[in-house]
């Protein structure tokens, strides 16, 4: 019997179009002999089609596993994962806690730093803070200014002086009440794919053996720090002047388009797209099965 896989895509975030491309790639790659795909499209206003995944009395609408392909806000931040938990549905990727923590750039830094993962120096500002520019003085210039909770590059600016910093802060505050200002790192951006629940497999960028080992270690530590499951793309910055690695961010629902690095890196490692989807679905089902041992009533 085929497993029914609900692919949920679209959504209200600025990454709506990327989600559509990721979903098309996933739907095309799912093995038709093993899976029956059910599409759930969410338009930019939040309307679901053909129908929302809501629990029927004592059951769900015949879905074996959900594959959320919702990037950014309302898809990668724990909100949709909470709906799946309420509906008692198995789903691919990180749970509610890991999703919400990884979405918040400050909280990601906090929990990862607690596990000795190096993070870039930063300052947190709140909307309407009077001394915002002055509070960032210790970082020097240039700096990057970002909304703390946003899945795309929207609202992000590089500031080279106090005047640019003020403008950048004002822009970022339009997208989030909390803004993060980080010391700019001159160097390379590195991406590391992680796959698994308790046992984690990773695939790093092309680096010398010593740097690769350190990238692997830090990726695993970051993944575990936010209690990620299923998959994530952990991004780092490699500073040219010092050779040091710094955690940049954790993407709990990375892109699955034809040019997305997450599936491309696994394909390079010998795991083709369709097999990667198989593994993600099996991980989701295995986690859901383990949850059945947890009691919610006396």
Query: Model's pTM, two decimal places?
Result: 0.92
| Stretch 173-184: mean pLDDT | 96
Question: Alpha-carbon distance 57 to 20, whole Å?
Answer: 31
Angle at 84 between CA 95 and CA 266, to 5 degrees: 50
Please say whether the dihedral angle defined by the alpha carbons of residues 217, 289, 8 and 20, taken in this order, is positive or negative. Answer: positive
The answer to whether residue 97 scores a pLDDT higher than 70 is: yes
Fold of the domain spanning 101-117+186-252 = D-amino Acid Aminotransferase; Chain A, domain 1 (3.30.470)
Both ends of the chain: CA-CA distance in Å? 35
**Number of neighbouring beta carbons within 10 Å of residue 108:** 23
Question: Alpha-carbon distance 183 to 126, whole Å?
Answer: 18
Mean pLDDT in the chain?
Answer: 92
Q: What percent of the chain has pLDDT over 70?
A: 95
Question: Alpha-carbon distance 125 to 101, whole Å?
Answer: 18
Q: What percent of the chain has pLDDT over 90?
A: 81
The pLDDT value recorded for residue 60 is 57
What is the maximum alpha-carbon separation in the chain? Answer: 63
* Residue 202 confidence class, pLDDT cut points 50, 70, 90: confident
Question: Alpha-carbon distance 205 to 14, whole Å?
Answer: 27
Phi, psi values for residue 217, rounded to 5°? -60, -45
| Stretch 234-261: mean pLDDT | 95
Question: Alpha-carbon distance 278 to 276, whole Å?
Answer: 5
> What are the pLDDT digits (tens) for 38-62?
999 999 999 998 654 444 445 456 8
The answer to whether residue 284 scores a pLDDT higher than 70 is: yes
Judged by phi (left if over 0) then psi (alpha if -120 to 50, else beta), residue 235 lies in beta
Instruction: Please provide the CATH number assigned to the domain covering 3-92.
Output: 3.40.50.20
Question: Alpha-carbon distance 223 to 291, whole Å?
Answer: 20
What are the residue boundaries of the structural domains of the chain, listed by start?
A: 3-92, 101-117+186-252, 122-183
Lowest mean pLDDT among 55-64, 137-146, 266-275: 55-64
* Residue 117 confidence class, pLDDT cut points 50, 70, 90: very high
Fold of the domain spanning 122-183 = Dna Ligase; domain 1 (3.30.1490)
Give the DSSP H or E segment for 251: strand 245-251
The pLDDT value recorded for residue 56 is 47
């Amino acid at each position: 019997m085929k497993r029914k896989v609900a692919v949920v895509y679209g959504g209200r975030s600025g990454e709506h179009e990327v989600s559509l491309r990721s979903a098309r790639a996933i739907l095309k790659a799912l093995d038709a002999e093993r899976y029956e795909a059910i599409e759930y499209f969410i338009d930019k206003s939040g309307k679901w089609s053909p129908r929302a995944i809501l629990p029927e009395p004592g059951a769900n609408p015949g879905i074996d596993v959900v594959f959320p392909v919702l990037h950014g806000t309302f898809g990668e931040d724990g909100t949709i994962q909470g709906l799946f938990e309420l509906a008692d549905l198995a789903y691919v990727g990180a749970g509610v806690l890991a999703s919400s923590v990884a979405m918040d750039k400050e909280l990601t830094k906090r929990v990862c730093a607690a596990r000795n993962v190096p993070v870039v120096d930063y300052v947190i500002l709140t909307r309407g803070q009077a001394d915002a520019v002055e509070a960032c003085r210790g970082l020097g210039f240039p700096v990057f200014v970002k909304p703390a909770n946003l899945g795309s590059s929207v609202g992000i600016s590089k500031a080279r002086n106090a005047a640019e910093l003020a403008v950048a802060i004002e822009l970022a505050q339009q997208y989030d009440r909390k803004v993060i200002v980080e010391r700019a790192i001159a160097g390379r951006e590195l991406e590391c794919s992680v796959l698994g629940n308790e046992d984690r497999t990773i695939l790093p960028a092309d680096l010398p053996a010593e740097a690769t080992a350190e990238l692997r270690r830090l990726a695993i530590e970051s993944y575990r720090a936010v209690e990620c499951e299923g998959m994530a793309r952990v991004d780092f910055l490699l500073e040219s002047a010092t050779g040091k690695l710094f955690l940049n961010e954790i993407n709990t629902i990375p892109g699955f388009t034809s040019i997305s690095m997450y599936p491309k890196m696994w394909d390079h490692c010998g795991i083709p797209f369709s097999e990667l989807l198989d593994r993600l679905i099996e991980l989701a089902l295995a986690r859901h099965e383990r949850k059945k041992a947890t009691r919610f009533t006396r």
